[in-house]
Structure 1
């Protein structure tokens, strides 16, 4: 039996990195929400570490491309928000350890 689509999306999001930080966007806490509709369309609500992130377009495009490449995924929409603004407390314990915040 294959992994549920939601889990596949989470797995692929863990392969997307902010080029300025050696931790993936999932562990950084940049992904706020993943919704998979009955028609397998996917909506991802996420943020960036800073509103003026110079690679914002690249990160969003990579998220869209990698999720869209999953089997059974319909359309993919990434919604970028800065509400609430990202902060270091949103990172996983693993990310905090890797970046020396603990």
Structure 2
């Protein structure tokens, strides 16, 4: 019997869908389109690690946003555990925003 392989594409899409429900309170764009999510790792044990940043180190939601991300990702049935790591390397800039986000904010 071979070990079941994770359908990472499908799980990745679920994770992205959840991330797109989380908004920066100061900008009417979700954190995924804002480019705040740098990387998402899923291992064979369905544990997720998310590497993300904030718009600034003094972001008013620096304490609550990572917790919200962690809780919402953990709510996906297949996910056993989630860890959110905040980094400011590289620092966030408007260049990381998707075209959709820039359009939404009138930057295009």
Which TM bucket (shorter chain)? over 0.9
Alignment-derived partner of residue 15 in structure 1: 21
Distance in 2, matches of 1:101 and 1:39, equals: 41
For residue 37 of structure 1, report the CA deviation from its aligned partner: 0.4
Distance in 2, matches of 1:86 and 1:4, equals: 27
Residues 1:33 and 2:39 aligned together: yes
- 1:47-95 per-position Cα deviation (integer Å, ceiling 9, x unaligned): 0000111111211111001000001101100000000000001000000
For residue 6 of structure 1, report the CA deviation from its aligned partner: 1.2
Alignment-derived partner of residue 81 in structure 1: 87
Structure 1 stretches of 4+ with a deviation exceeding 4 A read none
Let me know the Cα RMSD of the aligned residues.
1.3
TM-score (norm 2): 0.90
Distance in 2, matches of 1:4 and 1:38, equals: 14
For residue 40 of structure 1, report the CA deviation from its aligned partner: 0.3
Question: Which stretch of the first structure deviates more once superposed, 52-61 or 78-87?
Answer: 52-61
Which is greater in Rg? 2
For residue 22 of structure 1, report the CA deviation from its aligned partner: 0.3
Residues 1:71 and 2:91 aligned together: no
TM-score (norm 1): 0.95
Alignment-derived partner of residue 58 in structure 2: 52
Aligned residues: 101
